[in-house]
Amino acid sequence: MAEILTFLPGTMCDHRLWQPVWRALGPRFSCDYVPIESARTRAGMLGLIQSVAAAGDPLHLVAFSMGGYLALQYALDNPGRVASLITVGSSAFGLTPQEAAERVRALELLEKHDYRGMPTSRLNQFVHPSRQSDPDVVDVIRAMDRGLGKPVLVAQLRDTSTRTSLAPRLPELDIPVMLIGADSDPFVPWSAIETMASLIPGARTVMAKNAGHMMPLEQPDWLAARIAEFHARI
């Protein structure tokens, strides 16, 4: 029987983020998905994870960016309901003052103006320069952004702006954990991955080379290989 992995997206992402990784993983794994983009509050997002967990065995979670923070919080709040956890480009820490201020400004602008989609300058911040003209990356990001639209963006920015640091609780995790980061991610620098790993007993770390924040789209084959290797060892 194929091992079931449960995937979570990040801000302004949906299942399309993970499709290249799912294809690369092949038949060994059955890939489930938690549509956190359908919830409007963090409590609602955590409730969607709980609804999946309640339906079967403890979850093997694979979570990206904001989804990684939610997966960490769920695992800490529900010991025994998560069997393993892989985070990709995720931080367990609260927002910096600069990040919080940027979200406040973004929300103020969204209240006053229509949302016309992610500017190219913003999109390029998420993607390694070598992939910024790759349609397999940028077209998917734009499609997700366009499909989810302003209501989801406002809800996700507002409800994640007040997140607190999970760092003091990370030593409580007693499950296999792998933290995946990138060498060129401006949002979750490698130093943050190393700090998280130092707090989680037995945590493994892996760095994607020549990659930005959007690793599931930028390097799906590499990421799928790391996921398979991790699960071969636990």
What pLDDT digit, counting tens, does each position of 150-169 carry? 999 999 988 877 789 999 99
User: Does a structural domain hold residue 213?
Assistant: yes
User: Does a structural domain hold residue 140?
Assistant: no
Q: How many domains, in total, are found in the chain?
A: 1
User: Does a structural domain hold residue 225?
Assistant: yes
User: Does a structural domain hold residue 114?
Assistant: no
User: Does a structural domain hold residue 145?
Assistant: no
Pairwise CA distance, residues 70 & 49, whole Å:
9
Decide: 49 and 34 in contact? Cβ < 8 Å: yes
Question: What is the 3-class SS of 58-77, one letter each residue?
Answer: CEEEEEECHHHHHHHHHHHH
Whole-number pLDDT of residue 12: 97
Which residues of the chain, if any, have pLDDT below 70?
A: 1
User: Does a structural domain hold residue 36?
Assistant: yes
- What does pTM read for this prediction? 0.95
The range of the structural domain enclosing residue 84 comes to: 3-96+158-233
User: Does a structural domain hold residue 133?
Assistant: no
The enclosing domain of 28 has a CATH number of 3.40.50.1820
Whole-number pLDDT of residue 1: 66
User: Does a structural domain hold residue 80?
Assistant: yes
